[in-house]
Amino acid sequence: MKKTIIAVLTLSLVLFFGLGAGTFAYAATDDNSASSKSSLGDPADALYKEGRQNEGKGAYDNALDCYTRAYALGSSDAAYRLGRMFLYGNGINADSVYAVVLFNAAYEMGNPDGLCGFGQCLEELNEYEEAYKYFEKAANEGSINALNCIGEMYAYGRYVGKDQSQAVKNYKEAAEQGNEFALRNLGICYAYKWGVEKDLKEALKNLQKAADAGNTSALYDIASIYYDEEDYQKALDYYKQAADRGNVDAMNKLGDLYGPIYRVEEVIDQDYNKARKYYEMAAEKGSGLALNRLGDMTERGLGLGKPDYELAKNYYEKGMETGDAYWAAASCLAIGQLYDMGRVGEHDDSTAYYYYRKAAEMGNITAPYNVAKMYEYGKGVKQDIELAKIWYKRAYDMGVTFADEDYERLVGNSSSDASTGSESSVTENEKSTSDASTASESSVTENENSTSDASTGSESSVTENEKSITAGDIAETAGDVADVAGAVNDIAGAFGKEGLENASGKVEDIAKKVNTAARIIEFLDILFGD
């Protein structure tokens, strides 16, 4: 993480703070510097617009490239959009440190959206009071994005009292100025009667405007409205549009529709190959849901002709590595099932127990029941009836209602009775362990969250590792930033007297820029603390 901070701060010094080759190119023009900057304005704007188009199509690599180049040429809007991409992990690994520095860069370039970005960072950490302060300040300075963010806080009662009508007012004000996120939020309000009377025509109009502005989530919302209205063909068309433009929710929904989950038989023919195609698309973007679905289909041989348990395990293992805690835990449980039923390697109760226990610790609601069974019958772990009772109770408390019967059965029997029994009864209970483990499948399906959250314009959040910056890291980084500034001074000196005179304004700014870096570090300290 320390290396990431150093890299980001160095990037800001080189790109934003004007300490790269471009600095001296500006200085060398002297009398014509104003016209030179003006000539660079158009390429920056063109690159920014190209980045927006690419982002809207889901071509995130191209968007990242365009935004970075536009930012290097001085586009504050590009700095803000880059910050959003890093904050929410749009097409790139989420990194809040990059996001903070880029938002700061945007603000120092005169763009109040940078302040809005600070608020969004805090909002991701549930620091709603502090987030609201940044949104309010940004809105007062002219940030349309901040108006939308304040509307979202009213919509969901974050820090301010929940007030859907006030949320709609904010959305309308921002939407009138073309804000894609506000247009989407306003469309959702009309669709689901949040603060306004239900009006599907108005909902679709606003969502289409948002989609035209590059918001792929709005396409998914349009599809969902048609799906709810049972206009399945239009729903399918819009899901495909959204998927083609990189929307992961739409990819997963199409996988569900073509696969064994939510198939609408009279409209959509079951096609496991198409289902796998869309799940694979989503999996490539790191979707834990898609990897779990692929594991399940592969385990059952759907779209393959026959089961492939090793490949299924591979999908589940990848699913465990995603940042989606719910699906990571579900995939962990599934690996336990594979070992429990002897589908990978030799029948291995101890490994099955390991994955069941790990899944339970990760929050899977079914796993505690499986752990209890393992303790009750001594499978993969020393038999312990008291621990079995504890795990049955935990399973019941987490929502596995039938675990109460097992708990009461053990309470009503002596430990010696519970530890004895015929071979056939043990075998039967082993079967029930496997049966219980499969109960997660329906639970996983029912708990799927495929709808987009109107409270965010995106699709990801800060990981635990990003919260682990220590005060020591920050202090060390401050020293490294100072070293970077010193190195930049040395580089500037290599240009000689004339070069230094031409670049004097920029070189004299180095100390101020290091102070800016220190301010960023201070903000990081507020965010991540020790």
Measured in Å, how far apart are the chain's first and last C-alpha atoms? 14
Q: What is the DSSP track for 320-354?
A: HTSS-HHHHHHHHHHHHHHHHTT-SSS--HHHHHH
The SS3 assignment for 59 reads coil
Q: What is the mean pLDDT of the chain?
A: 78
Residues 136, 150: contact at Cβ < 8 Å? yes
Pick from 184-193, 261-270, 350-359, 397-406: least confident: 261-270
Tokens of 60: 């995130």
Name the pLDDT band for 206 (thresholds 50, 70, 90): very high
Residues 206, 180: contact at Cβ < 8 Å? no
Name the pLDDT band for 523 (thresholds 50, 70, 90): low
Quick one: pLDDT at residue 38? Answer: 34
Q: How many residues does the chain have?
A: 530
User: What does the angle CA 196 – CA 197 – CA 199 come to, to the nearest 5 degrees?
Assistant: 110
Reported as a single tens digit per residue, the pLDDT across 326-363 is: 999 999 999 999 999 999 977 789 999 999 999 999 99
Q: What is the DSSP track for 61-125?
A: HHHHHHHHHHHHTT-HHHHHHHHHHHHHTSSS---HHHHHHHHHHHHHTT-THHHHHHHHHHHHT
Pick from 74-88, 334-348, 371-385, 477-491: least confident: 477-491
Tokens of 227: 């799906």
Reported as a single tens digit per residue, the pLDDT across 240-264 is: 999 999 999 999 999 999 988 766 6
- What are the CA-CA distances from residue 265 to residues 255, 270, 451 (Å)? 14, 7, 22
Whether the pLDDT of residue 154 is over 50: the answer is: yes
Whether the pLDDT of residue 450 is over 50: the answer is: no
Quick one: pLDDT at residue 479? Answer: 53
Quick one: pLDDT at residue 470? Answer: 43
- % of the chain with per-residue pLDDT over 70: 69
Q: Is 281 exposed, middle or buried (0-12, 13-18, 19+ CB in 10 A)?
A: buried
Specify the residue for token string 């002297």.
Answer: 30
Name the pLDDT band for 50 (thresholds 50, 70, 90): very high
Pick from 205-219, 263-277, 387-401: least confident: 263-277
Tokens of 87: 């904050």
Name the pLDDT band for 287 (thresholds 50, 70, 90): very high
Residues 501, 89: contact at Cβ < 8 Å? no
Quick one: pLDDT at residue 413? Answer: 74
| 269 backbone dihedrals φ, ψ, rounded to 5° | -70, 135
Quick one: pLDDT at residue 451? Answer: 38
Quick one: pLDDT at residue 124? Answer: 92
Reported as a single tens digit per residue, the pLDDT across 101-126 is: 999 999 999 999 999 999 999 999 99
Quick one: pLDDT at residue 458? Answer: 38
Which amino acid is residue 261, in one-letter code? I
Pick from 332-341, 436-445, 489-498: least confident: 436-445
Quick one: pLDDT at residue 56? Answer: 84
Quick one: pLDDT at residue 269? Answer: 83
Instruction: Give Cβ neighbours of residue 136 (< 8 Å, ≥ 6 apart).
Output: 146, 150
Quick one: pLDDT at residue 25? Answer: 27
Reported as a single tens digit per residue, the pLDDT across 221-246 is: 999 999 999 999 999 999 999 999 99
Quick one: pLDDT at residue 415? Answer: 46
Residues 454, 270: contact at Cβ < 8 Å? no
Name the pLDDT band for 20 (thresholds 50, 70, 90): very low
Quick one: pLDDT at residue 480? Answer: 52
Whether the pLDDT of residue 14 is over 90: the answer is: no
Question: 109: closest CA among 37, 215, 31, 7?
Answer: 37
DSSP state for residue 464 in the 8-state scheme: T
Pick from 60-69, 382-391, 454-463: least confident: 454-463
Quick one: pLDDT at residue 519? Answer: 53
Question: 240: closest CA among 250, 255, 249, 230?
Answer: 250
Name the pLDDT band for 522 (thresholds 50, 70, 90): low
Half-sphere exposure of 510 (CA within 13 A, CB side): 21
Quick one: pLDDT at residue 347? Answer: 76
Q: What is the mean pLDDT of residues 51-69?
A: 90
Quick one: pLDDT at residue 270? Answer: 87
